[in-house]
Structure 1
Amino acid sequence: MFIKSVNLAVRFLLELCALASLGYWGFQVGKSAYTKFVFGIGSPLLLAILWGTFIAPKASLKLPEPYRFMLEFVIFGAASFALHFVDKTILAIILGMVFIINRILLIIWKQ
């Protein structure tokens, strides 16, 4: 079904937005060039490692569903909080709401 494919595409875009929001946060909160690099590159890298290891469809250590949802909630919560922390509150709310709607549809459609 076409709408289910759109939901999966939105899921991928949400992952990219989470990476971008953590990177943006890192480069904004860092005081020196070193801390900007560590936070701006390190936080999205950590998210990508966690996602690829535990959540991705081809994850090496795929978590069972309740724990997977909790980790996703923490990841997207951190990404939303990071946006809020750098005064991008509207974007933080949008990211959080789209994540919740997307996750509900993933559960309903068993994707």
Structure 2
Amino acid sequence: MWKAANLLLAFAVELVALGIFAWWGWATGGTTLVRLLLAIGLPLVGAVLWGLFAAPTANRGQLPRWIVKVLVFGLSGAALWSLGHPVLGVVFVVVVAANLAIIHTQKLQP
């Protein structure tokens, strides 16, 4: 049950990170077209990078996996901060870091 809960939390924070990218893109875009492009494009780029380098099935090595994870989650926290939610940004990054530490130490993923 512990393993399933941590893996579910990992998946949830990945989806939340993509949602934060969409929120930030919509909030920072000037015109409606730019807002739409950013709100759709940023999560799409994040998802593609995640799928190529950080997904459990990606076989690109550990260093690229961790670089993408740090970038995606770190930028998500920074985006929350820039949206005027610094406490939420810090809480998000702390939850992600704790979850990744548990997964890594317990070797819950391949």
TM-score range, shorter chain: over 0.9
Count of matched residue positions in the alignment of Structure 1 and Structure 2: 108
Alignment of 1:1-111 (within 5 A): 2-59=1-58, 62-111=59-108
CA distance in 1, matches of 2:21, 2:49: 14
CA distance in 1, matches of 2:67, 2:32: 33
Post-superposition offset of 1:80: 0.8
* Aligned structure 1 segments of 4 or more residues deviating by more than 6 angstroms: none
**Structure 2: 5+ residue stretches without partners:** none
Post-superposition offset of 1:12: 0.3
Post-superposition offset of 1:64: 1.3
TM-score of the superposed pair, with normalisation by structure 1: 0.92
Post-superposition offset of 1:49: 0.6
**Structure 1: 5+ residue stretches without partners:** none
Aligned alpha-carbon RMSD (Å)? 1.0
